[in-house]
Structure 1
Amino acid sequence: MLYSAQWRKSTYSADQDNCVEVASNLPGVFAVRDSKNPTGPALLFTSAEWTGFLRGVQAGTFNT
């Protein structure tokens, strides 16, 4: 499934190396991976899980 993933980094990341990449072109899931280890494992989230995560970030529920 991940062979067709089109990975992208947040524009907020600029040229930093400590980032995550997201693939949103996969049917029914969002994939997340460490940009420093592109051949390593990826986490998969359903659309509902990803939407909940983004809402939490926007609301300030998740702190960095």
Structure 2
Amino acid sequence: MDLSRVIWRKASRSHDDGDQCVEVASLYDLVAIRDSKDPDGHNFIISRSDFRHIANALKNL
């Protein structure tokens, strides 16, 4: 999947100190996730439903 034109947004809990850098992009009914320190590296693409489940679980940590 070509992700060159998507708009990436840094997660609100990511920090500029380089320790926790996660970015997400909306892809219709999917969500792409990447490490902002390695934007040309691997991306994970999951359903919006799975993303909601993961985000809710992480909020409770």
TM-score bracket, shorter-length normalisation? 0.7 to 0.9
Higher helix proportion (structure 1 or 2)? 1
When the two structures are superposed, what TM-score results if normalisation uses the length of structure 2? 0.77
Say how many residue pairs are matched: 59
Deviation at 1:58, TM superposition (A): 2.4
SS at 1:13's partner residue?
coil
Deviation at 1:15, TM superposition (A): 1.6
Structure with larger Rg: 1
4+ long deviations beyond 2 Å? 10-14
User: What is the percentage of aligned positions where both structures have the same residue?
Assistant: 34
SS at 2:33's partner residue?
strand
Once superposed, what is the RMSD of the aligned Cα atoms?
1.6
When the two structures are superposed, what TM-score results if normalisation uses the length of structure 1? 0.74
Deviation at 1:33, TM superposition (A): 0.6
Gaps of 5+ in 2: none
Question: Residues of 2 paired with 1:7 and 1:47: CA distance?
Answer: 15
